[in-house]
Amino acid sequence: MGDALEKVLVTEEQIRTRHREMAAEIDADYAGRDLLLVGVLKGAVMVMADLARELHHPCAMDWMAVSSYGAGTNSSGVVRILKDLDTDIQNRNVLIVEDVIDSGLTLSWLVGNLRSRGPASVEICTMVRKPLALDVDLEVRYVGFDLPNEFIIGYGLDYAEKYRNLPFIGTLAPHMYS
Ligand code: IMP
Ligand code: MG
C-alpha cells in the first residue's frame, strides 16, 4: 500500500457483518419470487461475490459495464454502456448491485435504462452511499454504509484502476490525487 492509504473507514469484519444483514433482508423481501442480481462492473465484483454467497435465495446473476470516472475522482455525468446484459429482463425482478453511489448520476441513468426494458421490478443495493446521493431522486432499497464525502478505495473501489483488491474500505491520501 505504501502511503496511498490515509485511513481505514470500514473493516473486513464490518463488511462481512453488514452483508449478512443485507442478505437476510433480501432473502425475506424476495422469498418465493424470481431474482436477478445485476452487478455493475468493475467495482461491484467484490460486493456481488460476497453478498451473493450470503443469500439463500437461488438467484441468477448478470453484469453490466458502464463508463464512469476514468482516472480522475469526479463524476463526468457521461454514461455509456460498455457491456450490456446477456439476459432479457422482461418480467424479471432486477436487483442492481453497486459498489458506491456518489452523485447518483450513473445509477439514475441505469435505472431508467433498465426500466425501459419491461422488468417486473428494479431495486438498488449499494455497499456505500455518499451524501450527494441523497439529493438525487433515487430510491435505494439496500445501503451497506453511509459514508462521508471523501474519495474511497478498496473492496472493489479503485483509484486509476488500483487498490480494488484491498479487503477493506479506506480513504485515499490527498497527496495521491492533488
Ligand atoms: P456516481 O455516478 O457519481 O454516483 O458514481 C459513479 C461511479 O464512480 C461509481 O459507481 C464508482 O465506480 C465511481 N466512484 C464514485 N465515488 C468513488 C470513490 O470514492 N472511489 C472510487 N470510485 C468512486
Ligand atoms: Mg460502480
Predicted pLDDT of residue 26: 98
Query: CB of 157 closer than 6 A to ligand 1?
Result: yes
Which atom of ligand 1 lies closest to the CA of 102? 4
CB 144 within 8 A of CB 15: yes
Number of domains in the chain: 1
43: in domain = yes
165: in domain = no
CB 38 within 8 A of CB 123: no
Q: Which three cell numbers stand for residue 79?
A: 454514461
159: in domain = no
Distances in whole angstroms, Cα of residue 99 to Cα of each of 48, 88, 104, 140, 158: 9, 23, 12, 13, 10
From ligand 2's centre to the CA of 31, what distance in Å? 27
Which atom of ligand 1 lies closest to the CA of 103? 3
From ligand 2's centre to the CA of 99, what distance in Å? 5
What is the domain-level CATH number for residue 111?
3.40.50.2020
The pTM for the full model equals 0.93
166: in domain = no
111: in domain = yes
pLDDT tens across the length of the chain (178 residues): 668 899 999 999 999 999 999 999 999 999 999 999 999 999 999 999 999 999 999 999 999 999 865 545 555 566 889 999 999 999 999 999 999 999 898 899 999 999 999 999 999 999 999 998 888 889 999 999 999 999 999 999 999 999 999 999 999 998 887 6
CB 83 within 8 A of CB 41: yes
Range of the domain at 47: 12-150
From ligand 2's centre to the CA of 100, what distance in Å? 6
Query: CB of 26 closer than 6 A to ligand 1?
Result: no
156: in domain = no
157: in domain = no
Query: CB of 108 closer than 6 A to ligand 1?
Result: no
